[in-house]
Chains A and B, each alone.
Chain A
Amino acid sequence: MAETPLPFFARLVLAWTCFFRVLFDGVFARDVSNVQTRGRLPEVRPPTQSMPAIPPPPPADTALILLGIFQREGRLVDFLEQDVTSFSDADVGAAARVVHEGCRKALRAHARITPVRSEEEGTRVTIAAGFAPAEVKLSGNVGGSPPFTGILRHRGWRALDLSLPIPVTGHDAEVIAPAEIEL
């Protein structure tokens, strides 16, 4: 197991979590320091206190497939990877049309998306007790007890379903777009 190198995205997540644990967990920081300076892992010790386990991140493959679709249909990665500051609004606008048309088509072909709230934005709505906090986010003067009355600022979005292509054998999800060479 120790021989297998971690894939890039797993490393990214690891680096992120390590950063915070080194900052806030002295014992962990000492162990990392040992590995870093002496090139060896700390001795296995019985845990002195129970550490909450961080669940592993979801597999990145499906997210990469979706990224691949947005690139293929709407050139999204090209758009985001390019520095827009030196271009005129007209140039950025022309590119945005390509991205918008392609990505919108791709989004509609692969996901059914509907607003969480059907009311118009700007109207007064009342939220009864027992609402799902994942569905409705309260902002402003948050306090008191439900029902809450306030102004709908954003309708929210919910994916009703998402259908992704079936990867075929030989598929490499990490290649978002292949290089193209014209003969």
Chain B
Amino acid sequence: MSKRDKATKSEAHDDARYVVGIDLGTTHCALAFADASVEKARTEVMPTAQLVSQAAVEERELLPSFLYFAHASEGAMALPWDAKRAYAVGEYARTRGVEAPARVISSAKSWLSHGGIDRRAALLPLGAPEDVEKISPVEASWRYLEHLGEAWDARVARGEESGKLGAQDVIITVPASFDAGARELTVEAAMAAGLERVTLLEEPQAALYAWIEAMGDGWRRHVKPGDVILVVDVGGGTTDFSAIAAVDRGGQLELARVAVGDHILLGGDNMDLALAHVVKGKLEADGKEIDRWQMAALMHACRSAKERLLSDTKVATAPIAIAARGAKLIGGGLRSELTRDEIEAILVEGYFPQVDAGARPVARPRAALTQIGLPYASDPAVTKHLAAFLARQADATRKLEGFPAQTGGALLHPTALLFNGGVMKGVALRARVVSAIDSWLAADGAPPVRVLEGGDLDLAVARGAAAYGLARRGRGIRIRGGTARAYYVGIESPAPAVPGVEPPITAMCLAPFGMEEGTSASLPPHELGVVVGEKVRFRFFGSSVRRADGAGAALERWGKDELQELAPIEVTLPAEGRRDGDVVPVRLQASVTEVGTLLLEAIPIAPVAPDERWKIELNVRAPE
């Protein structure tokens, strides 16, 4: 791998006064920052100004990731910095999600990582009325980032050009499970929002940076060489796992992210909805009818009840009260309750069952004619997904230099556990995760995990991203890791066509696992032919387990689930200096940019101009 002008690029970041961490979440966003001009800089959370009702702006620590398109009759969704805006982002948009759901975008981030759709196409909100001008998942993310930028500019920059968010060193977090395409689209959204100095960071890593900052210098007492830290991050919409190893490098402790999990659309919102359905069933048994509006209120009430029951083990029941909708509050409301037994049965046993290490999530075959929608996880058991992750990544530390080899066992053995995400605030849920992992470790003859305590689970990712910004300037330890996947291009092998049988395909590795930012992979020997003036598509694959494949390695067969097919890639050769229709032999080269995105380029074997190369587009819409 060759280093690309790394020094000059990272210096460019150093003149920004602030390092800013943005948690661009599925259900909430948050922004934290640190003033790098201060000697012992600490991270702080910026309260984000947002509309909280039709006519009031408040600063809140979290910006709900919702976007509401106001109807013309409602007037402007005025903000202190824009009196004429036609849409609202944040708390008021979330409220309107209950009152006028067809005009509200939610979970834009899940759409952004959904390879089955064209993520640059204006399709959100799904089913919006005709007067709404729909936007793409990329634009929705752009609007959230833009809002954070405007709130920052109004609060911090106050008219100073150098104080604006676009001039700061901004770190945006993405799920560790985001593939190269979703990462690139996130950067695209950030660029559109005017954030020019952006770097991506995996959310579980951010959580660990936040923990390290919260512990101060004392963190080294809790982490020793040989440790494998498992980060379990269960947020509002997604579940994300990562493993980070602590390695002794010549007396220095080094942290290396060794494995990431798959993208699992499963989170706190699913759990609240499950509780709401249980209470709804109880109310309906009493002859009460629940409408859509009450269902949303019920979900809210269940969330509060859940938080109480999960955080205080002495509470046996939590009352649920839903007010009548009209001005007559008393008498028309609905009353019910959630009991500890129900919470245990639904959440602890339903979402975190005590399973053995061999348990795997059940995949439900998708109906042939599915409506356009998000690919939600079909198995709600977080512990099964976790068991599957640890089993898939059993070899994650085997090739790690200077790391003591794990002795036996069918699972990766974590030694320490860090929780993140709002759901993991529940004491009973944390206890269950610990007991499940401990039982798997005991079966493998390994010692139990220690829990790394501390930190605010809602804001840790934003804080950790800002802390990473400081670490990158040499003020703290950095987690190494590089790309969490290896990437492959699919080449159809020449074979006689057989009806009904797909031609065999060879997967050629373009980007090996663990490529560091600012490096390029070596040029693979294989040549591919592309036609001048035509769009040429290739199938594209990723693997989070094949660590040994170098650039150019050609796989003719691979284990089940080792490779996942991603959205295809596409290249168009301009006709300059060549004739339309000519076949030009090229080689494909992968690089990882300083920003943290994958760059694929086609390099002609016989260039007609110096340094000729064409960018290959990721994120092409998957074939129907």
What residues make up the interface of A, taking CB atoms closer than 8 Å to B?
65, 68-69, 72, 75, 78-79, 81-82, 84, 87, 90-92, 94-95, 97-99, 101, 109, 163, 165-172, 178, 180
Complex: chain B residue closest to A100, CB-CB: B321
Q: Give A83 Cβ to nearest chain B Cβ, in Å.
A: 9
Contact with A along B126-166 (1 / 0, CB 8 A): 00000000000000000000000000000000000000000
A92 to B335, CA, bound (A): 11
Considering the complex of A and B, which 10 residue pairs feature the smallest CB-CB distances, nearest first? A165-B56, A171-B55, A168-B78, A78-B329, A97-B321, A95-B330, A165-B58, A98-B323, A166-B57, A94-B335
Contact indicator A87/B331 (Cβ below 8 Å):
yes
Q: Give B314 Cβ to nearest chain A Cβ, in Å.
A: 19
Interface bracket on B: 20 to 34
A13 to B335, CA, bound (A): 41
Complex: chain A residue closest to B60, CB-CB: A109
A180 to B78, CA, bound (A): 20
Complex: chain A residue closest to B82, CB-CB: A168
Contact indicator B83/A98 (Cβ below 8 Å):
no
Contact indicator B323/A95 (Cβ below 8 Å):
yes
Does B367 have its Cβ within 8 Å of any Cβ on chain A?
no
What residues make up the interface of B, taking CB atoms closer than 8 Å to A?
49, 51-59, 75-76, 78-80, 83, 99, 304, 319, 321-323, 325, 327-331, 333, 335
Q: Give B27 Cβ to nearest chain A Cβ, in Å.
A: 18
A37 to B76, CA, bound (A): 49
Contact indicator B333/A98 (Cβ below 8 Å):
yes
Instruction: Give me 15 A-to-B residue pairs in the complex whose CB atoms sit less than 8 angstroms apart, sorted by A's number.
Output: A65-B56, A82-B329, A87-B330, A94-B335, A95-B321, A95-B323, A95-B331, A98-B329, A98-B333, A109-B58, A165-B56, A166-B49, A168-B55, A168-B56, A168-B79
Among A98, A99, A178, the one with the most B-chain Cβ atoms within 10 Å of its Cβ is A98
Residues of A within 8 A of B329 (CB): 75, 78-79, 82, 95, 98-99
Which residue in A79, A94, A171 is a CB contact (below 8 Å) of B56?
A171
Among B53, B79, B83, B329, the one with the most A-chain Cβ atoms within 10 Å of its Cβ is B329
A101 to B308, CA, bound (A): 12
Q: Give A97 Cβ to nearest chain B Cβ, in Å.
A: 4
A74 to B86, CA, bound (A): 28
A109 to B61, CA, bound (A): 11
Residues of B within 8 A of A163 (CB): 58-59
Contact indicator B53/A72 (Cβ below 8 Å):
yes
A170 to B77, CA, bound (A): 10
A68 to B58, CA, bound (A): 14
A66 to B533, CA, bound (A): 65
Residues of A within 8 A of B319 (CB): 97
Residues of A within 8 A of B76 (CB): 169-170
Contact indicator A78/B53 (Cβ below 8 Å):
no
Complex: chain B residue closest to A83, CB-CB: B330
A180 to B95, CA, bound (A): 14
A91 to B83, CA, bound (A): 43
A75 to B329, CA, bound (A): 8
A165-B52, A166-B58, A171-B56 are known contacts. Are A78 and B78 too (CB-CB below 8 A)? Answer: no
Contact indicator A82/B328 (Cβ below 8 Å):
yes
A87 to B333, CA, bound (A): 12
A72 to B95, CA, bound (A): 11
Contact indicator B57/A170 (Cβ below 8 Å):
no
A171 to B99, CA, bound (A): 20
A75 to B55, CA, bound (A): 18
Contact indicator B57/A165 (Cβ below 8 Å):
yes
A48 to B325, CA, bound (A): 58
A109 to B76, CA, bound (A): 26
Which residue in B51, B321, B325, B335 is a CB contact (below 8 Å) of A168?
B51
Residues of A within 8 A of B304 (CB): 101
Among B55, B80, B99, B328, the one with the most A-chain Cβ atoms within 10 Å of its Cβ is B55
